[in-house]
Structures are given as C-alpha cells and as structure tokens.
Amino acid sequence: MQLKLTSKERLVLYGLARYPGFSDIDLASNIGVDRSTIFKSKRKFRDWKLIKLLNVPSGEAVGAEILTSVFVKYNPTAPYEVRKESESHKRWINYPNCVSHTATDTDSVSTFYSRSLTDFRVNFDPIIDEYYRNDFVEDIHYYHYPFQVSGYSSDAALAVDGLFDLERADLPSGMIPPRPALTEDSRLTEKDKLTLYAFVKYPMLSDLELSRRTGISRPTISGKRTKFFQSGLLTREAYIDWQKICCELMSFYHVPIRHGHDREDLAKVYQAFRRVGAPLFTYMQPGEIFGAFLSTGYPELKSRLDQELRNLSSQGLITERPMVVIMPLNEIKSTKIDYAPMVADMLGIGREI
C-alpha cells in the first residue's frame, strides 16, 4: 500500500533528499517549513522506514580504482525464489564489495567497488560461473567506470521534485567531478580509516557515541568529520524506499555514446536521460553513462524514451539502443544498499565497532 504524503511532508522529504546533512533549523529556512512540522514528518518517515541517510565513500577514500555495474537477465526457470536458495546467491549478496543490488524474477542490477579489474574478476567470476552452472543466466553485461575519469550525481532530490511536481528553484545541478587517487602525503592513517568506517557504518550517530565505539576522542572525531566531508572523501546522501510512494517503475540504463564526442555531446546525452523519468543517480565517463530513473507508468516512459532516443540518434550522438532494464517496483524481490562491509574490507578494518 502506497503512503499518502501531505504537501508539507512532500516538502520535508524533498528537503531531506536535497540537504541531507542539514540540521532542522537550517532545513526549515531552506524549504520554508517550520521546525515542528519537520520534526513530526521525520518521526513519521522513521516509523514508515521511508528514508535513510547514508554517508557514501568516494572511490579514492577506500583505494578503489573502478565501479562496476552488472546487468543480468535470468532464464524463465530461475525466478528469484529459486536463485535465493543457492550458495552462489548468498555469496553474491554477502560479498562486501557489492554495495548495491536490486533484483526481480527476471533481472538484477548490481554495483561493485574494486581495487582493479583483476580484483573484480578474481572475486566475482567464481560467483557468476556458478550461476551459469545452475542455468540461471540468460544474458549478462558488465560496465566498468574508473573513478579517476568518472563523474557522479545523486539525484534523489530531483526525483522527489519531479514525482510530486514541486517545481523547486533550489534543485541541485551538475555532477561530482572525477577525483585523483590519494597521494602518499594524503594517505589515510589507521585512525582515519577507523573513523571513516564508523561514519559509513553509523551515519546517524553523534560524535560522542562514535567516540565511545571507536575509542577515539570526540574532538578528533569531529575534526575528521569536517575533513572527510569537505574533501569529498564522504558525501551525505538520502536513500528513499520508492516502493512506498507514488511511482510504478524503476529503470536502470547504460548508454554508449558515439566515438569522437566531446564534453558538450556527453552533456546532451546526460540531460536527455534525465528528461525520460525522475532521475535517481548517474555515473558518467567518456563514451558511456550508467544511471537510473523512476516513472509513474509504462506508456509515459516508452513515449519519453523513444522521443529522446530519436533526438539523440538524429544528432548522431548514439548509434545503438541503450541497455534499459525496467523493474515494476511491486515486483522487486530484493534490494541492498550497504557501503560499510566494503569499507571494512578495502581498508582492512579488523575490529567490530
């Protein structure tokens, strides 16, 4: 059953997605809703498990070289109930470097952080080989995005604005640009690593509580929080359970762009797919884009997608149809979004906190 949000609750949801690190006072001044309404709405959202706030690490923060998206089409004889009983599925879901996974009976889309392409292949190939031996897989596609050349945008605020027709004037624009790998001088200390892991694992805990858990002083925790967020090693993002509100479809896509394109061409393709539906996120590197968006129904989705593809084709920007996986939200069987195990594995955190 979908939740019915009031107009003010929709604004608060937008505010939490747009300004996930703000206090209630700052949030109130930015979205024009009083603090009492914000407090009550946040309490409702917690009860409904509608939204959670995450501290998301950048690739260079954890020593990752690439992000890989994996699109899998499954055989009709391998619905989710069959796959989930296999040991290979449990290994996939529990593999620390798999930070997100969304699956239906017919498809799944996952993302992975890896130190290198070799690291990804060594760890994931045995899992997918077992899927093939079980006759689960009809088709599979891998797309690799090196962090040092890939931009990223988290677009939950745009999705809320688009779904509820808020027409906000303070919408986020642009992408987080690629970041270079850490230098020897900027390498994380052991204390840095433990603190960063704590921020990712417990995004809602206070500095005082994190100090108790880690044994690191509260002023040090506070200083590292400022350092990590200001440097871009961590970003604050909102994760919304879209199955609970007003939309029908979630679509993942990967689009290759013609050879010889420039940055302006890449931007045109990027903007085109943001017009197809309410955007959720985008990864972009020279030559290709991977992202996701929401839609309220299939006829509107198909009409918009076809129109944008015709326009891009007529401009010579794309020469083949993109990979698009459309998932009805009420048919999603499994979701995962968890960065903490990956951070612990990549940074060698050997203790629980």
Mean pLDDT of successive 10-residue stretches along the chain, which has 353 residues: 88 96 94 96 95 95 96 98 96 97 98 97 97 97 96 94 93 79 76 97 96 97 95 94 88 91 88 94 95 94 96 93 96 96 96 90
Report d(CA 116, CA 120) in Å as an integer.
6
225-255 in b/e form (b: 16+ CB < 10 A) is beebeeeebbbbbbbbebbbbebbbbbbbbb
pLDDT (0 to 100) of residue 184: 62
DSSP state letters, 323-353:
EEEEEEGGG--EEEE--HHHHHHHHT--S--
The residues of the chain that CATH labels 3.30.70.100 are 53-244+331-353
| Contact of 53 with 237, CB cutoff 8 Å | yes
Q: How many Å separate Cα 31 from the centre of its chain?
A: 24
Backbone dihedral angles phi then psi of residue 305, each to the nearest 5 degrees? -65, -45
Both structure tokens of 87: 């040991």
CB count in 10 Å sphere of residue 179: 18
- Tokens of residue 90, six digits: 């449990």
Is CATH 1.10.287 the right assignment for the domain spanning 1-49? no
Backbone φ and ψ for 189, nearest 5 degrees, come out as -80, 170
- The C-alpha atoms of residue 250 and residue 89 are separated, in whole angstroms, by 22
The pLDDT value given to residue 80? 98
- pTM score, two decimals? 0.93
Distance of CA 182 to the CA centre of its chain: 23
Model pLDDT, residue 261? 79
Domain(s) labelled CATH 1.10.10 in the chain stretch across 1-49
Burial class (CB in 10 A: 0-12, 13-18, 19+), 75: middle
Q: What is the CA radius of gyration of the chain?
A: 21
Q: What CATH architecture is 53-244+331-353?
A: 2-Layer Sandwich (3.30)
Q: What is the pLDDT of residue 258?
A: 83
107-114 and 249-256 beta bridge pairing: unpaired
Report in angstroms the alpha-carbon separations of 162 from 11, 27, 241, 279, 283: 12, 20, 16, 8, 20
- Residues 69/245, Cβ–Cβ less than 8 Å: no
Cross-strand pairs, 153: 282
The residue count of the chain comes to 353
